[in-house]
C-alpha cells in the first residue's frame, strides 16, 4: 500500500536560536565528567552494530558485513551467532517483549523474524521492489507495528505484526535517504532525511507524511531522539551540530558540538531524565557527548576506549541505566549513565 505525502516548510514561522559550546562547556579537546564505559571484543568479523538490550543480561546485535544475528551475555562474556546464509546484510534489529528478534535484511529487501526458541527465520518481503533496502526498525506502543526506514528506496514503511502486511510511504523529496526513526509519545513516527535538510513526520492514522525543513540548507540529519516533552533532537552530521525542533512551537534551536565541523555526529540515545547522548564519529577516538536538554548544556564528554572508528546507532536500556552501542573496531560497548 502506498500512502500520500505533503511538504511543510517551517522556515518562515520558525524561531531559530543558535548557541555555541564555548558558552556552555569546556575546551574541545577535554574530557568532562566521563561516563563509565566498558567494551567487549566481538569474536566475529563483519561490522558488529546496533545492539538492542532485551534485558540486563541479554543483548542482541547484527553483523552487517558478516551476515549474522548474534546474542551477547554480559555476565559470562558468552556470544551466540545465527548465520544468515542468504547474505542479507542485516543493518539493524529490535527485540519484542515476546523475545522475537526482528532484523532489517538490508541487501535483500525484507524484514526478518527470528525465533530463538525454534531457531526459525521468517522473511517478510517488501511489496514493492523499489523498497530494496530496509534500514532502521522501531516498535510503536504495544508492539502492534514496526515502523522502518528504507534509505535508498526512499520510503518509510509500516509492518503490521498481526497479519504481516506492509504499508510503504514514499518520501516526496527525491534521494532524501530516510535514515533514523523514532516514535513520539503521541504515536507519531519521526524520521531524519539524511540526503537533505529535512525531518519527516507521519500521521499513524492516515499515513500522510509531512516534511519539515531545517533552517540551514547544508544540514544533514542522521539520527534522532525524542524527549518526553515531544521535542525532536537530531544529529546534524553535515555541520557538526546538535539540533532541536519543537513541533508545538515550530521552533528550532541548535548547538555546535565540541569537535566543530569535523565532529560528524552519528549514533544517539536519550534517557528518562531528558538527557541526550550523541557520538562524534569524526573525532579520534570517538567521543560520547552528554547534553542536558533542560539546562541546555553539555554535562559529559567521554572518549570511547577502543577508539570506536564509528558508533552508528545506540540503544538505551532504562532498567539498567545503560546505553549499548557497537563500534567499527568490532566491539560492543556499554555506557552507564544512570548515576550521572
Q: Please give the Cα distance from 152 to 61 (Å, whole number).
A: 22
- Residue 7, pLDDT > 90, answer no
CATH class of 5-336: mainly beta
Q: What is the mean pLDDT of residues 87-94?
A: 98
- Residue 21, pLDDT > 70, answer no
- Residue 20, pLDDT > 60, answer no
Q: Which residues sit opposite 286 in a β-bridge?
A: none
User: How high is the pLDDT of residue 14?
Assistant: 37
For residue 245, which of 260, 259, 261, 229 has the smallest C-alpha distance?
229
- Which of helix, strand or coil describes residue 127? coil
Q: Where are the domains of the chain?
A: 5-336
Q: What is the mean pLDDT of residues 127-133?
A: 98
pLDDT band at 242 (very low <50, low <70, confident <90, very high): very high
- Residue 85, pLDDT > 60, answer yes
User: How high is the pLDDT of residue 4?
Assistant: 41
Report the first-to-last Cα separation within the chain, whole angstroms.
45
Is 0.75 topped by the overall pTM? Answer: yes
User: How high is the pLDDT of residue 74?
Assistant: 98
Q: What is the mean pLDDT of residues 21-38?
A: 68
- Residue 60, pLDDT > 80, answer yes
- Residue 61, pLDDT > 90, answer yes
pLDDT band at 185 (very low <50, low <70, confident <90, very high): very high
The answer to whether 110 and 122 are in contact (CB under 8 A) is: no
Q: pLDDT tens for residues 247-268?
A: 999 999 999 999 999 999 999 9
Q: What is the mean pLDDT of residues 308-330?
A: 98
Q: What is the mean pLDDT of residues 41-58?
A: 97
HEC assignment per residue over 47-94: CEEEEEEEECCEEEEEECCCCEEEEEECCCCEEEEEECCCCCCEEEEE
User: How high is the pLDDT of residue 28?
Assistant: 52
Which residues 6+ apart lie within 8 Å of 303 measured at CB?
Answer: 31, 34, 285, 286, 287
Q: Please give the Cα distance from 27 to 79 (Å, whole number).
A: 39
Quick one: what percent of the chain has pLDDT higher than 90?
90
User: How high is the pLDDT of residue 30?
Assistant: 82
Q: pLDDT tens for residues 188-199?
A: 999 999 999 999
- Residue 3, pLDDT > 70, answer no
User: How high is the pLDDT of residue 338?
Assistant: 79
Average pLDDT, the chain: 93
Amino acid at each position: 500500500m502506498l500512502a500520500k505525502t505533503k511538504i511543510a516548510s517551517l522556515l518562515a514561522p520558525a524561531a531559530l536560536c543558535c548557541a555555541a559550546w564555548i558558552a556552555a562547556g569546556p575546551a574541545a579537546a577535554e574530557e568532562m565528567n566521563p561516563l563509565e564505559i566498558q567494551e567487549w571484543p566481538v569474536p566475529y568479523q563483519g561490522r558488529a552494530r546496533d545492539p538492542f538490550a532485551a534485558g540486563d543480561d541479554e543483548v542482541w546485535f547484527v553483523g552487517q558485513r558478516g551476515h549474522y544475528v548474534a546474542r551477547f551475555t554480559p555476565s559470562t562474556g558468552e556470544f551466540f551467532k545465527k548465520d544468515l546464509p542468504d547474505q542479507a546484510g542485516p543493518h539493524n534489529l529490535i527485540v519484542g517483549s515476546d523475545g522475537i528478534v526482528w532484523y532489517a535484511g538490508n541487501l535483500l529487501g525484507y524484514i526478518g523474524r527470528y525465533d530463538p526458541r525454534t531457531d526459525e527465520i521468517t522473511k517478510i518481503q517488501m511489496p514493492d521492489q523499489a523498497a530494496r533496502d530496509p534500514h532502521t526498525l522501531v516498535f510503536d506502543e504495544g508492539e502492534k507495528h514496526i515502523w522502518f526506514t528504507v534509505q535508498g528506496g526512499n520510503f518509510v514503511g509500516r509492518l503490521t505484526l498481526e497479519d504481516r502486511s506492509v504499508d510503504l510511504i514514499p518520501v516526496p523529496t527525491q534521494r532524501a535517504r530516510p535514515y533514523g526513526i523514532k516514535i513520539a509519545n503521541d504515536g507519531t513516527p519521526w524520521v531524519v532525511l539524511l540526503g537533505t535538510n529535512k525531518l519527516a513526520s507521519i500521521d499513524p492514522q492516515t499515513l500522510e507524511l509531512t516534511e519539515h525543513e531545517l533552517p540551514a540548507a547544508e544540514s544533514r540529519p542522521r539520527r534522532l531522539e525524542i524527549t518526553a516533552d515531544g521535542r525532536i533532537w537530531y544529529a546534524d552530521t553535515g555541520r557538526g551540530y546538535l539540533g532541536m525542533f519543537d513541533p508545538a512551537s515550530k521552533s528550532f534551536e541548535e548547538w555546535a558540538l565540541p569537535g566543530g565541523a569535523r565532529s560528524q555526529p552519528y549514533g544517539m540515545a536519550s534517557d528518562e531524565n531528558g538527557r541526550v547522548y550523541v557520538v562524534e564519529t569524526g573525532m579520534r577516538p570517538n567521543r560520547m557527548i552528554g547534553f542536558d536538554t533542560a539546562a541546555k548544556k553539555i554535562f559529559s564528554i567521554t572518549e570511547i576506549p577502543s577508539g570506536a572508528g564509528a558508533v552508528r546507532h545506540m540503544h538505551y536500556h532504562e532498567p539498567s541505566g545503560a546505553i549499548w552501542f557497537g563500534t567499527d573496531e568490532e566491539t560492543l560497548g556499554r555506557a552507564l549513565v544512570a548515576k550521572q
